[in-house]
Structure 1
Amino acid sequence: MYRVIGSGNSRARRVLWMLEELGLPYEHLPALPRSEDVVALNPAGKVPVLIADGVPIPDSTAILTFLADRHGRLTYPAGTIDRARQDSLTQFLLDEFDSALWMAARHSSVLPEALRQSAIKDSLKWEFVRSQKVLVGRMGEGPFLMGAAMTVPDIILTHCGDWAETACFPITEPVLSDYLSRMRARPAYMRAQDA
């Protein structure tokens, strides 16, 4: 059984959803970043952390990739062109969506107040809208990002879409709005919200 450490409103939600999609048993400890439980497993104090075979694995993307590879689902095989495309989409989402949202969060509540720059959020929202146009051009002909099969980037993008709405970052592309509605209707997604 896997153990997921991290509050459900953090990137831990990605891991919880992945485990629900895979139908795997897990235990969830909704610890906050930098709490004792987290620092004991990840000296950086960041969540999520997955305990697999007694070993802590930090970083949501590393965890998703590990689970997908280990269980042979929600991924394409390593060394294939489809896997290269999948990994490229993952990196694009981390660079263009996740990083903008994280930078906005840092300047809203994470950094000490004296270091926060609220004006940065306008440029981050502009970049976020521009990135949506690029993403829509990369989306496959199917219900998922790469077409007919759900993969790791689908989990990352949907989580970023949820985060964007919470942070008041606009979803401006109708294709992306429709995609997010489909993903949020998945039973495993809904179970992960309750975890």
Structure 2
Amino acid sequence: MYEVIGTRASRALRVLWMLEEMNVPYTHTACAARSDAAFAANPSGKIPAMRVDAELITDSVAIMTFLGDKHSMFTHPAGTVQRARQDALTLQILDDIDGVLWATARHTFILPEEHRIPAIKIPMKWEYARNLARLSVAMQGPFLMGDDMTIPDMLLAHCMRWAEVAKFPDPDEKLADFKARMEAREAFQRAVAMP
């Protein structure tokens, strides 16, 4: 049995969504970052974490990769060229989209006020739009890699939702349609309804 630790108003949403898509049993301990429950699962106090029996896994993408490999869903087999392409997309999204959003969030409300640089949001919005356009060009079908949904699709859709809340530039029509289709999925709707 899996236990997901973290509120859905965080990167834990990615993990909750994937588990809902997989129809795998799990429990959910909704808690904020740096809460007692978060520190009990991760010495940094960051969320999400996932308890697998007596073991803990931290980082949303590490958890998603573990789940995909463990259940042979939403991933290509390790050691294949397709998996290398999937991993490259995952890392591209983490570097070019998630990283830009996280840097902006840190300078908006996370860092102590005296260490924030509010103007950073201007170049970050430009970089986000440029990087998102590159993903749109590379998209190979209804999903990033073609006809099958993989981990990078959930990751990108989550980041695009985060960007919308942060008032970042809108995606082009192709990625706007992609985001709408991903958010319309029943598993996604169940995950966003959680605490």
**Equivalent in the alignment of 1:150:** 149
SS in 2 for 1:119: helix
Q: Gaps spanning 5+ residues in structure 2: where?
A: none
Partner of 2:8: 8
Distance 1:186 1:8 in 2: 16
Aligned length: 194
Distance 1:172 1:95 in 2: 18
Structure 1 residue 36 displacement after superposition: 1.0
> Structure 2 counterpart of 1:182, which letter?
R
Q: Give the Cα separation in 1 of the matches to 2:52 and 2:170.
A: 35
Aligned partner of 1:101 in structure 2 is: 101
SS in structure 2 at match of 1:3: strand
- Is 1:82 aligned to 2:82, yes or no? yes
TM-score (structure 2 length as normaliser): 0.98
The amino acid that maps onto 2:160 is G
Quote the residue 2:47 is aligned against: 47
Distance 1:185 1:194 in 2: 13
Q: What is the rounded CA distance, in whole Å, between the counterparts of 1:137 and 1:72 in structure 2?
A: 28
What secondary structure, in the 3-state scheme, does the structure 2 residue paired with 1:28 have? strand
For residue 24 of structure 1, what is the aligned residue in structure 2? 24
Is residue 165 of structure 1 aligned with residue 164 of structure 2?
yes
Aligned-residue offset at 1:25:
1.1
Which residue does the alignment assign to 2:70?
A: 70
Distance in 2, matches of 1:100 and 1:30, equals 26
What corresponds to 2:187 in structure 1? 188
Structure 1-normalised TM-score? 0.98
* Aligned partner of residue 9 in structure 1, secondary structure: coil
Equivalent residue number for residue 138 of structure 2: 138
Query: What is the rounded CA distance, in whole Å, between the counterparts of 1:54 and 1:97 in structure 2?
Result: 33
Q: Is the 8 A contact 2:12 2:60 kept in 1?
A: yes
Paired letter, 1:139: M
* Equivalence for 2:178: 179
Give CA-to-partner distance per residue, 1:130-156, whole Å, 9 cap, x none.
Answer: 001111121112x21111111000110
Q: Which is worse superposed, 61-70 or 24-33?
A: 24-33
| C-alpha separation in 2, matches of 1:145 and 1:126 | 22
Q: Distance in 1 between matches of 2:154 and 2:132?
A: 16
Stretches (4+) displaced over 2 A: none
